[in-house]
Structure 1
Amino acid sequence: MQQVINVQPPEIMPRKFKVYQHRQLDKIEALQRVPDDMRFEMKVVANVLPFRVNEYVFNELIDWENVPNDPIFQLTFPQKDMLDPSAYQRMADLMSAKHSTNDVFDLATQLREEMNPHPAGQMQMNVPHVDGIPLPGMQHKYRETVLFFPSQGQYCHSYCTFCFRWAQFVGKAMRFNSNDAELLHRYLASHKEISDLLVTGGDPMVMRTRKLAQYLEKLTEPEFEHVQTIRIGTKSLTFWPYRYLTDPDADQLLALLERLVNAGKHVSIMAHFNHHHEMRTDVCQEAIRRLRKTGVQIRCQAPLLRHINDDADAWATMWNQQVKLGMVPYYMFVERDTGAKRYFEVPLERTWEIFRDAYKQVSGIARTVRGPSMSAGPGKVEVQGVTEIAGEKVFALRFIQGRNPDWVQRPFFAKYNPDATWLHHLEPAFGEKKFFFEDEYAQMSQMD
């Protein structure tokens, strides 16, 4: 009879959370290995785009022998080319001359406004209303799903350099959030079409459990039976897995998630993993194990990013590792048209080629992943491929999700454009003047 070996989880010791922001760049000991001019470049960019990194990330996840090419270094530390050359030079010139803190802030604010801080109409078209009153901190773009941005969760354990929500982190004027649990519950109770609540940020997992419970616990009551799924978007499994292990209220957090599951809710942790290196530590893997033990599902999503994961083998390795750890590959996104997109974006054709080459390397269990998907104004548009129809080379596209549900799964075609990186770069194929959804979407834009 084969002996069953009981594998004990690793002993995880508590760790103090220590974070560094742009004014503490020089205090990060590991950065002393990089040249002075590179550190100056980082400071210039960090005065425009948000920078925040914790000690676990730069001590455990970054291979400093491979800097600046290490993917986690690129994921967390600012690089010169993340700014347009003229924008970079303006800030560099200011910082090299006599200046005040206000001078830097004023220029940074101007440069940020030029970087499309709120893409896809999220400030104009997505904000819902109760009794005619707009609800800042909520978005209702798709019929079944509401996004909620709790005020206490509008930062992260570390910041991703590519983040499409970077504007949340650079000042109150650009921030999108709410601390009104009562209004959230009123809205959900009065909209029976909503089946999914997505709590997002920032990162809700920076919140203390008692705060998170104020938003979620009430959803177990009968009037919220229609809210079947609670999603929580988080990067914490990469940036601070101790949240589920040794933080003072880690056990309370897991107990909250378990209560929601036992009450009949489908609880999905929407985990952001950009590279398989993020999952290699014992603490990350133990955090995943403890989360899964509560009955939640962990779904994994990420954009395809130049300098970080623009490689099919890296994606295939990541998806296979996610499946091995009991997680579900969910989405490959196209880098959004905001912030440092010029540094990270990859042409749509190349993005699709990487997706296809990675997809064919994995088994059916990992082929739950969808993409490449553009989260554009009209909806989530999937690039299904490049093909030739009636002698014309075209992009084949479809809606995975749309502002109008009737758009979903309708195929449509765009002229081949090897340089296109986003939906607005594409034109209809076959002599059509407009895509089928354009007029209706324009009407929606005017109504909002």
Structure 2
Amino acid sequence: MTATNLLHTDEIRTDAPGQGRPFHVYTQRDLDRLTAIHHLPADQRFAMKVVSTVLPFRVNDYVIEQLIDWANVPDDPIFQLTFPQAGMLTAEHYAEVADLLRRDGEVDKAELDATVTRIREELNPHPAGQRELNIPRLPNGDVVTGIQHKYRETVLFFPSQGQTCHSYCSFCFRWAQFIGDKALRIATTEAEGLHAYLRQHRCITDLLVTGGDPMVMKTRHLAAYLEPLLHRDFDHVQTIRIGTKALTFWPYRFVSDADSDALLALLERLVAAGKHVALMAHFNHWRELDTDICERAIERIRATGAEIRSQGPLLAHINDEPDAWAPLWRRQVRLGIIPYYMFVERDTGAHHYFKVPLVRAWEIYREAIQQVSGLARTARGPSMSAGPGKVEITGVAEVAGEKVFVLRFLQARNPDWVHRPFFARFDAEATWLDDLKPAFGESEFFFEAEYRERWTGLLH
């Protein structure tokens, strides 16, 4: 049965969970009215208010009612994934904001705004040069808005209609997109700019539509960006990827939303025209797959001919153990999802709360991958999406009497760097590439001089 036939003949069960259910979302201003947390201690609820004054917070009924195990709060991984925790700010930053919110009388909004702005600037809002280094320019020097072009073959596109999510991940490395500061946003409504850029760069084979979450968009908006790619002018664009957390946060998007059928029909048209369509689904814990509506959504997506690949970071408090990852990968394979990446949490936002030492990340990956079959060993990692590229920790070894990390680029600004092994001195406390030093007495890694000269302009 083709997906088109599925859309017209396979009726959604009338008893399906969430059939036609409305979408209700809650943000910081709703914390005092959110009945799901009324039973929590007052100091914990106050901490949520403090942290969500700095970092974005957004959650919906589906997450609250079907994903969070409230009997296991605060340790429940989905609770940690979506609700603010006191430790997500440093003690100093937390105290500053808390003191302002505790003042008698009305909060001095100007002082609070200034404090919050300063704190946000200290949280590395655009890590890995994603704003400074990845935004392309035309020959006349004009910035191409809404696009990032870091790797030769792949362009990231940020449609403005998709710059929010059904819920926010508390660890999100794009948190700066959601705090209302237009200067920190990377987005556009201009499809013509995207299409012109793609026409001019025949080396681009992959378009990644990202956000936020493009699945918050109405199908007609998504179609306006994607359907023109069926023209022969864009034959070089072979793959269309759509980054989304909707399978976790709102799987009804693919089942019972008003334009769900239209969305799936769009995916089917793209596939039928010869495009490789991949939903890049973000999963952090096997519990996110543990609902009937999620499985139904996966089934309907796969019926269009699109594939689903899964990626997500390794996070303290959420999935920092092999027994979180191995069941996730096994369940994904059973459902037809391809495990793709285990990332290292980026050095931004609440990084200090979620970070895991690189050596422990490698141990977790290794112990988890040992528990799964070959079909799940497509998951690559642990990988750091750093300024120069995606750096994978392939192991810890002793070479010439020195204990080292063995590293390689899975993707890089210069394609010649890809899969070239290199070595860093072992550091049990290191949590990011910038913490590592070259092994064997070298003054710098093989790529650093070129990276400074060509991409950062910081050549000594």
**Distance between the aligned counterparts of 2:254 and 2:369, measured in 1?**
31
Q: Please name the residue that 1:129 is paired with.
A: 137
Kept after mapping to 2: 8 A contact 1:9/1:286: no
Instruction: After TM superposition, list the pairs within 5 Å mapping 1:260-275 onto structure 2.
Output: 260-275=270-285
Q: Please name the residue that 2:222 is paired with.
A: 212
Structure 1: gaps (5+ residues)? 1-6
Q: Please name the residue that 1:389 is paired with.
A: 399
Q: Does 1:62 align with 2:62?
A: no
Which of residues 295, 306, 326 in structure 2 aligns to 1:316?
326
Offset at residue 243 of structure 1 (A): 0.4
**Distance between the aligned counterparts of 1:237 and 1:136, measured in 2?**
28
Q: Percent identity?
A: 62
- TM-score, structure 2 as length reference: 0.95
1:62-121 deviations in Å (ceiling 9; x for gaps): 000000000000000000000011000000000001413343322211110000000011
1:369-391 deviations in Å (ceiling 9; x for gaps): 10000000000000011110111
Kept after mapping to 2: 8 A contact 1:48/1:112: yes
**Distance between the aligned counterparts of 1:47 and 1:120, measured in 2?**
25
Offset at residue 9 of structure 1 (A): 7.5
Offset at residue 447 of structure 1 (A): 4.7
Structure 2: gaps (5+ residues)? 1-9
Q: Please name the residue that 1:277 is paired with.
A: 287
Q: Please name the residue that 1:193 is paired with.
A: 203
Q: Does 1:202 align with 2:212?
A: yes
1:4-31 deviations in Å (ceiling 9; x for gaps): xxx9975421111000000101121110
Whichever residue aligns with residue 112 of structure 2, its letter is V
Kept after mapping to 2: 8 A contact 1:270/1:300: yes
Q: Does 1:411 align with 2:417?
A: no
Offset at residue 313 of structure 1 (A): 1.2
Q: Secondary structure of the residue that 2:48 maps to in structure 1?
A: helix
Kept after mapping to 2: 8 A contact 1:47/1:104: no
Say how many residue pairs are matched. Answer: 442
Kept after mapping to 2: 8 A contact 1:270/1:301: yes
Kept after mapping to 2: 8 A contact 1:316/1:362: yes
Offset at residue 314 of structure 1 (A): 1.1
Q: Does 1:232 align with 2:242?
A: yes
**Distance between the aligned counterparts of 2:134 and 2:343, measured in 1?**
20
Which of residues 295, 301, 324 in structure 2 aligns to 1:291?
301
**Distance between the aligned counterparts of 1:104 and 1:209, measured in 2?**
39
User: Once structures 1 and 2 are overlaid, which stretch shifts more, 35-44 or 172-181?
Assistant: 172-181
**Distance between the aligned counterparts of 2:177 and 2:401, measured in 1?**
46
Which of residues 17, 25, 34 in structure 1 aligns to 2:31?
25
Q: Please name the residue that 1:117 is paired with.
A: 125
**Distance between the aligned counterparts of 1:421 and 1:53, measured in 2?**
29
Q: Please name the residue that 1:3 is paired with.
A: none
Q: Please name the residue that 1:45 is paired with.
A: 51
Q: Please name the residue that 2:350 is paired with.
A: 340
Whichever residue aligns with residue 56 of structure 2, its letter is P
Whichever residue aligns with residue 136 of structure 2, its letter is P
Q: Does 1:432 align with 2:442?
A: yes
- TM-score, structure 1 as length reference: 0.97
Q: Please name the residue that 2:6 is paired with.
A: none
Offset at residue 131 of structure 1 (A): 3.9
Kept after mapping to 1: 8 A contact 2:163/2:211: yes
Q: Secondary structure of the residue that 2:54 maps to in structure 1?
A: coil
1:423-444 deviations in Å (ceiling 9; x for gaps): 0000000011110000000012
Instruction: After TM superposition, list the pairs within 5 Å mapping 1:367-382 onto structure 2.
Output: 367-382=377-392
**Distance between the aligned counterparts of 2:385 and 2:114, measured in 1?**
30
Q: Secondary structure of the residue that 2:129 maps to in structure 1?
A: coil
Whichever residue aligns with residue 152 of structure 1, its letter is Q
Offset at residue 136 of structure 1 (A): 2.2
Q: Please name the residue that 1:75 is paired with.
A: 81
The 3 A distance-change label for structure 1 pair 311 and 126 is same
Kept after mapping to 2: 8 A contact 1:228/1:266: yes
